[in-house]
Amino acid sequence: MSTVKIGPKHQVTIPRDVFAQLYLKPGEFMEAISEKGRIILVPKRLTNRISAPSLTEKEQNILSRAKLKIEKINKDILKSKGLTKDEIKISCKVGLIAPEQSWWWDEKWQKGERKSAQEIKEGKFKKFSGVNNLIKDIRS
């Protein structure tokens, strides 16, 4: 349980771990309910949701692994692993990741992401002041 402070315009910052666990995004709506001296915030979706697909026990286990991997990727890409084909399939099925972006979560792609992140961390990149300078560098 986290303690939060109310700001001057009644703002409350939702702790990062709670925000991630609920798959919230900035700009989403919350319903605020006062109940027995407590404030309860309930995420509201302003579009109709299709009912959640039923999953077998095996699929539920795969989904649990996928959620953990996604959390790790979002937290520290250098110390994470990408999703397997089965994890991607189930994650798309339940709407955890968008099917058109599933390639990005694949381990093969994540390997490249980790390599790029490591190279950036080590300063192994160049900055260019314009496209012409970039082209000039490529041709040299």
**Same domain assignment for residues 45 and 70:** no
Report the pLDDT value the prediction gives residue 1, as an integer from 0 to 100.
75
Cα 12–Cα 18–Cα 24 angle in degrees, nearest 5: 80
**Same domain assignment for residues 62 and 44:** no
Among 26-35, 47-56, 116-125, the minimum mean pLDDT is found in: 47-56
7: containing domain: 1-49
**Same domain assignment for residues 19 and 62:** no
Handedness of CA 63, 53, 97, 16 (dihedral sign): negative
Report the pLDDT value the prediction gives residue 26, as an integer from 0 to 100.
86
| Higher pLDDT pick, 111 / 30 | 111
Residue 109 lies in a domain: yes
- Give the pLDDT band of residue 46 (cuts 50, 70, 90): low
Give the total number of structural domains in the chain.
2
Check pLDDT > 90 for residue 120: yes
**Same domain assignment for residues 102 and 63:** yes
Residue 41 lies in a domain: yes
- Give the pLDDT band of residue 53 (cuts 50, 70, 90): confident
